[in-house]
Amino acid sequence: MKLYGSIASPYVARVVMFADLKGIELPMEAAPGGMGSDEYKAINPTGKIPALQVDGPHGKQTIAESTVICDYLEAAHPQPALIPAEPMAQAQTRMIARMTDLYVAPHNTPLNRMGPTRDEALIAQQAALFATGFGYIEAFMGPGPFVVGDSPTLGDCALAPFIIMLKENIFANFPEVADPTAGDGGLAEWWQAMQAHPVAGKTLAHYEEELVKFLKWLREKMAKRRGG
């Protein structure tokens, strides 16, 4: 198996954490030619990361979309289980992953695209959307400390990288957007458990390190473009 992508992506980090928790050795390689290139689209027609290339019954085959890749890893390597067999717990962990993608991830983009002039109305709008999304997630979490119980599952792998990305890119720059892991709520308890977990915490630290490098490079590139 080979994973195409960069761990600086929260979607790639989702798969990396899932594999790490399972103890799966998952070599990673940058997308040939870069995301969206014709060369990479020959491997993954969407041109997006991550993509998992596996040796299938008809030669090398590619799986796209981070949650689908996690589903494949769960089916191919059932133990330790990261998608619970119990129906309600399975629904809960899948809900958290889905709600991360629907009600948290999209609200990052409008703020990142804002120019040097602050749009207070847009900031207030996105802050409200974030608060709603995190409210949904907290309402559907299980008893904890992780999203469905006493060990990380799919939902944890989906949500945690986005929390780090928001801490670095949104919460630090837009104090109007409340960090749900601050204070003493359910997501604060969850975040402490994730950081303290010996495997998940290590993966998150690696992701944060690479994300910080990427954001520094991106900001320098944008500054040069504005200066030019």
Answer yes or no: are the C-beta atoms of 36 and 47 closer than 8 Å.
Answer: yes
222 φ/ψ angles, rounded to the nearest 5 degrees:
-65, -35
One-character DSSP codes across 40-66: HHTT-TT--S-EEEEEETTEEEEEESH
The tokens 């990261």 sit on which residue?
82
Q: From the CB of residue 215, how many other CB atoms can be counted at a distance below 10 Å? A: 14
CA pair distance 112, 160, nearest whole angstrom:
19
Predicted local confidence at residue 59, as pLDDT? 85
Strand, helix or coil at 3? strand
CA pair distance 110, 151, nearest whole angstrom:
34
Predicted local confidence at residue 108, as pLDDT? 93
Distances (CA, A) of 76 to 1, 69, 72, 187: 11, 10, 6, 31
60 φ/ψ angles, rounded to the nearest 5 degrees:
-70, 130
Report which of 144, 160, 155, 143 is spatially closest to residue 200, judged by C-alpha positions: 160
Q: Is the peptide bond before 84 cis (omega within 30 degrees of 0)?
A: no
**From the first residue on, what is the mean pLDDT of each consecutive set of 10 residues in the chain (228 residues)?**
96 98 97 96 97 89 97 97 96 97 96 89 97 97 93 98 96 95 93 98 97 90 70
Report which of 75, 187, 60, 69 is spatially closest to residue 133, judged by C-alpha positions: 187
One-character DSSP codes across 141-153: --SSSSSSSSS--
Report the C-alpha dihedral over residues 31, 32, 35, 37, rounded to 10 degrees.
Answer: -160
Predicted local confidence at residue 54, as pLDDT? 96
Considering the domain delimited by 2-76, tell me its CATH architecture. 3-Layer(aba) Sandwich (3.40)
Which element (helix H / strand E) includes 8? none
| Domain residue extents for the chain | 2-76, 87-227
Answer yes or no: are the C-beta atoms of 69 and 61 closer than 8 Å.
Answer: no
pTM for this structure?
0.94
Answer yes or no: are the C-beta atoms of 158 and 100 closer than 8 Å.
Answer: yes
Predicted local confidence at residue 226, as pLDDT? 66
Six-digit token pair at 92?
């809960």
186 φ/ψ angles, rounded to the nearest 5 degrees:
-60, -40
Considering the domain delimited by 87-227, tell me its CATH architecture. Up-down Bundle (1.20)
